[in-house]
Amino acid sequence: MQFTVASSPHLTPATSVSAVMLKLLLALLPGVAVYALLFGWGILLNLVIGCLSALVIEALFLFWRNRPVKKHLGDYTAIVTAVLLVLALPPLTPWWLITLGVFFALSLGKHVYGGLGYNPFNPAMVGYVIVLISFPTELSFWPGQLGLFGDFSLVDTLQYSLFGSLGEQTLDGISSATVLAAIDNGFSQGLTLAEIQQQAAFGLLGSAGFEWIALAYLAGGLWLIQQKVIRWQIPAAIIATVTLLSAVLWLVDSSQYASPLVHLLSGAVILGAFFIATDPVSASTTRKGRLWFGAGIGVLIVVIRSWGGYPDGVAFAVLLMNIAVPMIDYYTQPRVYGHSK
């Protein structure tokens, strides 16, 4: 009898790229749910626009590059990129801006390097940074807690997203300065932290509303670690460095520097630590290297927030550390079995 041959191992595989990506999306669900509950329809609409754009743009690139379209659309990596990009954008963002961001993320962030697995930079952050520096006004418009069932309905959201019209609402009526932006502006105007706290929506722990979203992300992230979709080193290193560094600054001068809790639970630290910085393709792959990679991101976040021109620095921090990954990986190779200690 004759048989077909194939190389070992012959066991059915335990996991796959699409399974990994699906778990990642699943882990984002609690955060997205809390986000929508607190801030209204915007985020849900953005996610739909982002995912549709991603599917279309990815398919076009795959077709153009002569790659199997169905196989690669089915790996969900383009969806993950789009979702992470959307989560970084404000909940009220015009549709074209989202599509543009996704386009840049998938083109300049991924396909120019050869597609999945070859990109040196985190594609979602490439897309985000490009739209951030291109459209600063749109990206600094953060609405307050509109709620899913508040005055600002799904129709209002659609109208704003598609046509840019606010209807009866005014921009000032619904917008609210984010904590990090208020801190950034406030300190530059010479205000103390106490004065700033009166201006912006500080919540119980960090930024009002966003603190709960961050905690939901945290829950999802911990589940990912438990599922071994991501490893603990990068999130732990980021959170530890941000906490440590901001604590030192805060202890030195609490009127000029925000507390560690505000740092952790405002902006994108938790999202970044568990979901963005852990992007396997562009992150460090050695155990020790992941710690260094995470620590570098943590330091850069605090530096950019405290002294840089942007209120939040997660995207820049991640991209900057992406550059350092080959070097980190080179210098953090584990000791191989049987080699001297």
Partner 1 sequence: MLATLFKKPAKFTGGIKLPERKSLSNGAELRIAPLPAQLIHPLGQHIGKAAKACVAVGDRVLRNQPIALGDGLISADVHAASSGTVSAIESRPIAHASGLLAPCIVIDCDQEDEATEPAPHGNDFLSLSSDELRGRIRSAGIVGMGGAAFPAAVKLNARGRAIDTLILNGAECESYITCDDMLARTQADEIIRSIPIFRHILGVPNLPVIVALEDHMQQAIAELRAALEKSGLRRVEIRAVPSIYPEGGEKQLIQTLTGLEVPTGGLPLDIGLVCQNIGTAAAVFRAIVHGEPLTSRIVTVTGEAVQQPGNYEVRLGSKVADIVAAAGGYKVGKPARLIMGGAMMGFALKTDDVPIVKGSNCVLVAAAEEVRPTDSTMPCIRCGECAEVCPASLLPQQLYWHARGDEFDKAKNLNLFDCIECGACAQACPSHIPLVQYYRYAKAEIWAEEREKAKSDAARERHEFRLERVEREEREKLERQKQRQAALAASKKPDAASSSASNGAASDPVKAALAKAAAAKAKASDSGGAMSAIEKAKATAKQRQADAAGTSATAEVAKPASAAAAAIAKAKAAATATDSDESRESALTPAQKAIAAAKLKARKAAGNSAESPTAQHEAVETAQQTPAQLAIEKARAAARQKETSEVASASPAEDKPAKKSLTPAELAILKAKAAVKKSQQPSAPSAESKPAKKSLSPAELAILKAKAAAKKADKELSTPDAASATKSPAQLAIERAKAAAKAAQQGNGE
5 binds partner 1 (CB under 8 A): yes
Pattern 78-117, partner 1, x by CB under 8 A? -------------------------------------xxx
Contact between 177 and 200 under an 8 Å Cβ cutoff? The reply is: yes
Q: Which of 58, 75, 156, 184 is in the footprint of partner 1 by CB under 8 A?
A: 75
Residue 58 makes contact with partner 1 by CB under 8 A = no
Tell me how far apart the alpha carbons of residues 279 and 88 are, in angstroms, rounded to a whole number: 15
Indicate the residue among 9 and 190 with the shorter CB distance to partner 1.
9
The answer to whether 9 contacts partner 1 (rule: CB under 8 A) is: yes
Stretch that binds partner 1, among 3-11, 83-91, 237-245, 265-273 (CB under 8 A): 3-11
Q: Which stretch binds partner 1 (CB under 8 A): 181-189, 218-226, 255-263, 284-292?
A: 284-292
Number of residues counted as binding partner 1 (CB under 8 A): 43
- Residue 14 is a binding residue for partner 1 (CB under 8 A): yes
Stretch that binds partner 1, among 1-9, 141-149, 170-178, 266-274 (CB under 8 A): 1-9
Checking 197-206 for CB contacts under 8 A at 24+ apart, the result is 200/176, 201/144, 201/145, 201/176, 201/177, 202/262, 203/265, 205/261, 205/262, 205/265, 206/179, 206/261, 206/262, 206/263, 206/264, 206/265, 206/266
Shortest spacing between CB 216 and partner 1, in angstroms: 24
The verdict on whether omega for the bond into residue 9 sits within 30 degrees of 0, i.e. cis, is yes
Tell me how far, at minimum, the Cβ of 223 lies from partner 1, in Å.
Answer: 17
| Sites for partner 1 among residues 211-250 (CB under 8 A) | 228, 231
Region from 51-59, 135-143, 302-310, 332-340 binding partner 1, contact rule CB under 8 A: 332-340
For residue 24, the surrounding DSSP H or E stretch is: helix 17-39
Q: Quick one: tokens of 73?
A: 């659309």
Min dist. Cβ of residue 71 to partner 1 (A)? 8
Q: Would you give the distance in Å from CA 157 to the centre of its chain?
A: 23
DSSP secondary structure of 210-237: HHHHHHHHHHHHHHHHHTTSS-SHHHHH
339 is an interface residue for partner 1 by CB under 8 A: yes
Looking at 106, 281, 300, 301, which residue binds partner 1 (CB under 8 A)? 281
Asked whether position 70 contacts partner 1 by CB under 8 A, the answer is: no
Question: In residues, how long is the chain?
Answer: 341
CA-based nearest residue to 25, from 71, 72, 69, 77: 77
| 285 touches partner 1 by CB under 8 A | yes
Using alpha carbons only, give the angle 9, 14, 16 rounded to the nearest 5 degrees: 105
Nearest by Cα to 31 from 171, 173, 199, 223: 223
Q: Any contact of residue 163 with partner 1 (CB under 8 A)? A: no
**DSSP per-residue codes, 232-282:** SHHHHHHHHHHHHHHHHHHHH-TTTS--HHHHHHSTTHHHIIIIITT-TTT
Q: 117 vs 164, which CB is nearer to partner 1?
A: 117
Which position has the token pair 């963002």?
93
DSSP state of 284: -
Per-residue x/- marks for partner 1, 110-149, CB under 8 A? Answer: -----xxxx-------------------------------
Which range, of 9-17, 53-61, 137-145, 254-262, touches partner 1 by CB under 8 A? Answer: 9-17
Closest CA to 294 of 273, 320, 313, 279: 273
Residues of this chain that interact with partner 1 (CB under 8 A) are 1-17, 19-20, 71, 75, 77, 115-118, 228, 231, 280-281, 283, 285-287, 329, 333-340
